[in-house]
Structure 1
Amino acid sequence: MSTYELQRLEKIKRNAGLLKELGLDAKLKPSSHDARPSKKRKLNQFDAPRPTRSSSRIAASERPSYSDEKVSTTPIPSSRSNNPRKKTTRSKNSPPPQTTKDEPIDASIAGVEEIRAGWTDWKAEAPSPTRDTHGAFRFPDHADFTPNKSPEEILREGCFGGSYFRPLYSRHLGITVSDDWKELPSSWVAGLNVERVLANPEYDAEVNKFGVACGQSIEEWEASGWINHKYDVRGWFQWYCRFFLGRRCEDDERQISRWKKCVGETGRWRRLLLKKYKAMDVRDVFDDGEDEDSREVSPVMHQTCHHWAFEVKQDILDAFWASER
């Protein structure tokens, strides 16, 4: 247990003692949220992801559905704005804009069955990554790629509204792709509810670790030309799973470049999220949204970064505060 968690538990203990001395403890009933892990805690690796935060706002909102042919492209704003006077026309239930400005992939690919076979007809060429003392993964052949979330952690903590591996119709290839989650190592998905957290036809924001909807659909990525069908019909996260397992391909440099633009050391979403911490004067990751009444540092940005295999850790936050002084 980290020093920060120990300090938090000690603070809770002191507060409970004070309430008891004042005779107020009997008036307090335990909340249904008390048994849930805080927003920054990892779930047990064999538990199906469950929402780390639930609110009437989320419960009452209309969930984006991928069952329909048309999917909303309206961006979703951050859950809280630092400027209450600022007006926005963005919908609360629609994903944020794509985080990179890639040029479309050349769509002139022939031989659908050959392409389909190539998705699984590969052998690992690189060893498994190691993890450094700060929790970042190190790939010997790509020193500039240092995500700090593994594919398994992303899946178990809750991602993509539970719908990443839903049956997917590719307009480009003219085929429906399904059950490709089965190529993942069995240890990654053991104990998970496939219908809810992997292949749910409906996007469920409550599955996500931070309890909010974010990101564009795979169909929108395909329409924008960001999918390289020759290697990964579902895009970034599928590429990351296979790269993590040792596959190497011609699309690696492009995908790593996209990761760096989003959440690398100077990545857009990483810096925006850290600036949110500073603007709200939050210096401890465990001070961020532990309960319903505490300050919450942009869950949408957190979830977006989580999808790109990055999470703010205390050392990263400390370094940012030090660099901004």
Structure 2
Amino acid sequence: MNDIESQREDNIKRNQEQLRQLGIYLTPSAGSHHVAKKSPPKKRKLQHPLAPSRSSARIASNPMRQPYVSEDQDQDQNPSRSRQQRSRPIAKKMKAPSNKRELVATAPAKDIESLRTGWTAWEPTASPPSRDQESTFHFEDQPSFTPNKSPEEMLREGCFGGSYFRPLYSRRLGTTIIDDYRELPSSWYSGLEVSKFLTSPTYDAEINKYKVSSGQSIEEWEAAGWINHTYDVRGWFQWYCRFYMGRRCEDDERQISRWRKCVGDMGRWRRTLLKKYVSMGIKEVFDDGEDEEGRDVSPVMHQTCHHWAYEVRQADLERFWKVGK
């Protein structure tokens, strides 16, 4: 054995000793030396797989996912349903009132009889509104309040399922309110079947202009705190009737603020409805009730706006197409 081979053997022995100290052993084989590798540790199987931190659009659109619907949003859940299906009279379903409150009306610290007297003892202090060429009303003392449907038009066209002035039991007051529609000018409901259009004990969607159910009941409004019993025990529409007739009260600002948020120039229901026209590519306003073959643009949203004394006008739609508001 020459010096080179001897040195090589010494190096091999030295390396083997170092590997042994590290816990690595060589398995000899013919003509070669292989390093014995440690067997990899067994992986534990997760009993409860973790949800992925990211998801694709395909996964997000999986029909098993529950859609989110705003608790206070009134939507047409099935816009493709036929007019015949929408026209069936139905009883209004009660919904659980939302925990979100707009402005909570203060409970009146008066006895019931004095309250009843106050509801009808007022005298008109404001002039009747004017109306422009676009059919918008203008109240001199409240320029930001610009509805385009009068209370009489709403009643005659059909609103609140014909049940707005039905006998109403107020849980807050512990009394029943009845026949208060008689304070309205008789000309507003002359020729109408009162028991069908004003005082029906059940909500009938067939009465509504757009033949659909829309909105919550007065009982739900009361539970949510939207009723100021000192002035209008039935809520918004009763307030509007009296405001239109010239009454002014401390609750005006609150009710007008609610109207602006719903169907004012930047109101969410108004904008939502106009967006539906744009998304469907429709540039002309048509009356759903007159065109049986035409495409419906969210009858539920139309009826909701109608309940707030607003109806889409051609000028509104053209403006929205142009500037988006």
TM-score, L = length of structure 2? 0.71
| Residue 63 (str. 1) matches residue 87 (str. 2) | no
User: Whole-Å Cα distance in 1 between the matches of residues 288 and 209 of structure 2?
Assistant: 14
- Correspondences of 1:69-88 after superposition (within 5 Å): 72-73=94-95
Cα 1:174/1:129, change in 2 over 3 Å: same
- Correspondences of 1:1-325 after superposition (within 5 Å): 55-59=83-87, 63-65=90-92, 72-73=94-95, 101-286=101-286, 290-324=290-324
User: Whole-Å Cα distance in 1 between the matches of residues 110 and 180 of structure 2?
Assistant: 21
User: Whole-Å Cα distance in 2 between the matches of residues 277 and 105 of structure 1?
Assistant: 36
Please give the secondary structure, in 2, of the residue aligned with 1:127: coil
What are the ranges of 5 or more consecutive residues in structure 2 without an aligned counterpart?
1-80
**Letter aligned with residue 86 of structure 2:** I
1:58 positional shift = 2.7
Does the 8 Å contact 2:101/2:224 carry over to 1? no
1:288 positional shift = 5.2
Does the 8 Å contact 1:162/1:199 carry over to 2? yes
User: Whole-Å Cα distance in 2 between the matches of residues 123 and 134 of structure 1?
Assistant: 30
Does the 8 Å contact 1:289/1:296 carry over to 2? no
User: Whole-Å Cα distance in 2 between the matches of residues 202 and 106 of structure 1?
Assistant: 29
User: Whole-Å Cα distance in 1 between the matches of residues 233 and 108 of structure 2?
Assistant: 15
Does the 8 Å contact 2:288/2:294 carry over to 1? yes
**Letter aligned with residue 83 of structure 2:** S
User: Whole-Å Cα distance in 1 between the matches of residues 289 and 187 of structure 2?
Assistant: 30
Please give the secondary structure, in 1, of the residue aligned with 2:188: helix
Please give the secondary structure, in 2, of the residue aligned with 1:311: coil
Does the 8 Å contact 1:54/1:206 carry over to 2? no
Deviation digits for residues 214-267 of structure 1 (CA, Å, limit 9, x no counterpart):
010000000111000000000000000000000000000000000000000000
**Letter aligned with residue 234 of structure 1:** R
In the alignment of these two chains, the number of paired residues is 244
Cα 1:115/1:54, change in 2 over 3 Å: farther
Cα 1:59/1:128, change in 2 over 3 Å: closer
Larger Rg: 2
Cα 1:296/1:124, change in 2 over 3 Å: same
User: Whole-Å Cα distance in 2 between the matches of residues 261 and 272 of structure 1?
Assistant: 12
Cα 1:277/1:252, change in 2 over 3 Å: same
Match of 1:91?
Answer: none
Does the 8 Å contact 1:163/1:198 carry over to 2? yes
Determine what percentage of the aligned residue pairs are the same residue: 61
**Letter aligned with residue 94 of structure 2:** S
1:286 positional shift = 1.9
1:133 positional shift = 1.9
**Letter aligned with residue 57 of structure 1:** Q
**Letter aligned with residue 84 of structure 2:** S
Cα 1:183/1:296, change in 2 over 3 Å: same
User: Whole-Å Cα distance in 2 between the matches of residues 246 and 184 of structure 1?
Assistant: 12
